[in-house]
Amino acid sequence: MPPRYGGTDRRRAPEGRRRDRAADDLARYRSGIAAYLNGVGGRAGGADRIEGMSEQTIALVTGANKGIGYEIAVGLGALGWSVGVGAREEERREAAVEKLRAAGVDAFGVPLDVTDDASVAAAAGLIEERAGRLDVLVNNAGVTGGMPQEPTRVDPATVRTAVETNVIGVIRVTNAMLPLLRRSAAPRIVNMSSSVGSLARQSTSTDELGTGPISAAYAPSKTFLNAVTVQYARELRDTNILINAGCPGFCATDLNGFRGVRTPEQGAAIAIRLATLPDDGPTGGFFEDAGVVPW
């Protein structure tokens, strides 16, 4: 399909691609998410590209040097996408890029500490220089913040650490990347959250597999992230940007001392689904493999 807007300038997608998403649409998408998630795996159909720019989909995954983030990079790379491996430590980043390339992924390293303004600005500059735009941002980098986390004995610094990375880091990276995302014909933002941030589950379940341990830092940081995701969706409602939160399930990674019961590859699946939503897919939602996670 020929581009509906020509030239080499990097304008955002045309008005027709923008969305006017009403609240009842959201409710419909939430109830029907299984249908929307089935059959995804490629880029949104009919997405026009700006002439002179690469047709290849460009993605950035934060915290992609290991764990679920690495597996998200593998999965997006398998779609033929060019994947930026956002990672703060050079050796770990380069090792991951090398491993991904050996597996056939078009991977490139992006030095990125999500808690550092200058680092995030430089990462946006690197992607701008390399690709001129960004199609998909996966905000995956996350920390527990340290232990203990029980409200009655938590060190406030622990809470601050969790929020600084898991919430403010996501806002910092998202806002730095938004000018690049706005140049995409079908931008997607995926925030890796956790069902432990679900207040509904925290208040109705006693199963630690679903709620995680009692926490005043990590779990509430994901609740905060979910709330922020909804606010982005509200502000971006009239654009073509879809932003959603995903829960990977309890996966065996460094984050939990490898106590998780799922593989990081299984955990990556929800992010890949949300990264490949069609143009009429949901925004402002919270999903796991089985469907909608209650707030």
Nearest CA to 108 among 123, 117, 242, 120? 123
Binding of ligand NAP at residue 113 (CB under 6 A)?
yes
| Cα(69)–Cα(275) distance, integer angstroms | 13
Binding of ligand NAP at residue 13 (CB under 6 A)?
no
> Which position among 82, 253, 276, 283 is part of the footprint of ligand NAP (CB under 6 A)?
253
The minimum distance between CB 47 and ligand NAP, in angstroms, equals 27
Tokens in use for 269?
A: 């699946």
Binding of ligand NAP at residue 287 (CB under 6 A)?
no
> Which position among 75, 84, 220, 248 is part of the footprint of ligand NAP (CB under 6 A)?
248
> Which position among 109, 142, 145, 284 is part of the footprint of ligand NAP (CB under 6 A)?
142
Tell how far CA 216 is from the center of its chain. 23
Burial category of 222 from C-beta neighbours within 10 Å (exposed 0-12, middle 13-18, buried 19 and up): buried
* Binding span for ligand NAP by CB under 6 A among 43-51, 110-118, 178-186, 277-285: 110-118
Q: For ligand NAP, give the closer residue by CB, 202 or 239.
A: 202
Nearest CA to 48 among 240, 190, 222, 203? 240
| Cα(234)–Cα(212) distance, integer angstroms | 29
Place of tokens 């398998």: 78
Binding of ligand NAP at residue 141 (CB under 6 A)?
yes
The minimum distance between CB 76 and ligand NAP, in angstroms, equals 15
DSSP secondary structure letter of residue 256: G
Binding of ligand NAP at residue 194 (CB under 6 A)?
yes
- The question of whether 222 is a catalytic residue gets the answer yes
Binding of ligand NAP at residue 145 (CB under 6 A)?
no
Binding of ligand NAP at residue 19 (CB under 6 A)?
no
- The question of whether 66 is a catalytic residue gets the answer no
Binding-residue total with ligand NAP (CB under 6 A): 33
Give the contacts of 168 (CB within 8 A, at least 6 positions apart): 115
List beta partners, residue 84.
60, 108
| Cα(129)–Cα(119) distance, integer angstroms | 15
Binding of ligand NAP at residue 260 (CB under 6 A)?
yes
| Cα(150)–Cα(156) distance, integer angstroms | 11
* Binding span for ligand NAP by CB under 6 A among 53-61, 149-157, 227-235, 252-260: 252-260
Residue 288 has φ and ψ, to the nearest 5°, of -125, 180
Active-site amino acid positions: 218, 222
Residues that bind ligand NAP (CB under 6 A): 62-63, 65-69, 87-89, 92, 112-115, 140-143, 165, 169, 192, 194, 247-248, 250-251, 253-256, 260, 264
